[in-house]
Amino acid sequence: MQTQKVIDHIVSWLKDYATKARVNGYVIGVSGGVDSGVVSTLAAMTGLKTLLIEMPIRQKVDQVDRAKDHMNDLKSKFPNVEIMSVDLTPAFEELYKTFNVQDDLYPNEKLAFANTRSRLRMLTLYYYGQLNGLLVCGTGNKVEDFGIGFYTKYGDGGVDVSPIADLYKTEVYTLAKGLNLIKSIQEAIPTDGLWDVDRTDEQQIGATYPELEKIQKEYGTKTAEDYEGRDKEVFLIFDRMHKAAKHKMEPIPVCDIPEEWRN
């Protein structure tokens, strides 16, 4: 990948989009992961106002520390960067008490609460974005957004722009190196940070990002019968998750009413 060309292109795209939209810049949620690390840096490079918000919810200390270290590093390099920490744990705990149901009756409760965390962060980003005249900048990559749908609908999927959604995860790591992000961000193990237990993306999905990328690049041209061994296992994982997440990737269905019925 021609790393510098990609970096320059995304920075120019972000700056042009914000200018045409007549906004002051971007707000980004910083998690301590490589995706938000890369996106926040690219946004900062536009020279436009860039508000970085760290939003812990029952978060592990190492994730919080990485996020803060990255934000402080960017602030020291870019005068247009502003940083905030908004502790959403108290708000989430109130929702938890309000929503809590019997686990044995509702087996999807833990997943619903994980998605609630993401949606609470989305609400926060739009609140501060509107206060400051900023667009919410998404941090999803190509595998998450258009491969397996590994994001929360109206959570981290609720954004105004998606600058790295055409980049595979391995390419995002390449950009992180090219942007010289702090070492802890470059080496961060992918995790969505939405669970009380420490669960990496690989543990949740059952496959690594490089394995998924191989399948995604061939998806639609090959079937399960074209693979064997581990590749076939990953294909079946990708195929199942892709089909289950179609509702996230496609426009909201609209029930069309025949025009003649309107008369």
Dig out the tokens for 63 from the structure. Answer: 């994730």
Q: How confident is the model at residue 192 (pLDDT cuts 50, 70, 90)?
A: confident
Mean pLDDT, range 82-87, rounded to an integer:
96
Total number of domains constituting the chain: 1
- Asked whether residue 207 is assigned to any structural domain, the reply reads no
Reported as a single tens digit per residue, the pLDDT across 139-185 is 999 999 999 999 999 999 999 999 999 999 999 999 999 999 999 99
- Asked whether residue 215 is assigned to any structural domain, the reply reads no
Supply the range of the domain harboring residue 27. 3-201
237-248 b/e with 16+ CB inside 10 Å = b? bbeebbeebeee
- Asked whether residue 15 is assigned to any structural domain, the reply reads yes
Reported as a single tens digit per residue, the pLDDT across 212-251 is 999 999 999 999 999 999 999 999 999 999 999 999 999 9
- pLDDT of residue 190 exceeding 90, the answer is no
CATH of the domain at 63: 3.40.50.620
The pLDDT assigned to 210 comes to 95
